[in-house]
């Protein structure tokens, strides 16, 4: 890659110092943000951060929902069964 001849995608008069790893566009020093040792353009950084948020938020939220959606009805059901059987047991024992 001939980076020395590339110009910034946002500033056509400025020489690019690197390429955004997300968007693949040439970017100048002002447009680039260094994150985890790699260059991102402003758009690229937003894309990357949005994906990161999505990744970290989704499993947690799904896991919490799964616990409520399955755990609560199951424990209520078990409790009702227990109450029902308890009553039957008492009646049966009294004869």
Using CB under 5 A, list all residues that contact Zn ion.
8, 10-11, 28, 31
Residue among 10 and 33 whose Cβ is closer to Zn ion: 10
HEC assignment per residue over the chain = CCHHHCECCCCCCCECCEECCCCCCEECCCCCEEECCEEECHHHHHHHHHHHHHHHHHHHHHHHHHHHHHHHHHHHHHHHHHHHHHHHHHHHHHC
Closest separation between CB of residue 18 and Zn ion, Å? 11
Q: Which is nearer to Zn ion, 15 or 47 (CB)?
A: 15
24 vs 86, beta carbon nearer Zn ion: 24
Q: How far is the CB of 14 from Zn ion (least distance, A)?
A: 5
């Amino acid at each position: 890659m001939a980076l020395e001849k590339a110009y910034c995608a946002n500033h056509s008069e400025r020489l690019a110092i690197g390429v955004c790893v997300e968007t693949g566009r040439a970017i100048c020093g002002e447009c680039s943000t260094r994150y985890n040792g790699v260059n991102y353009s402003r758009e690229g950084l937003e894309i990357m951060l949005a994906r990161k948020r999505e990744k970290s938020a989704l499993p947690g939220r799904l896991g919490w929902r799964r616990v409520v959606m399955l755990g609560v009805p199951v424990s209520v059901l078990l409790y009702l069964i227990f109450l029902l059987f308890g009553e039957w047991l008492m009646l049966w024992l009294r004869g």
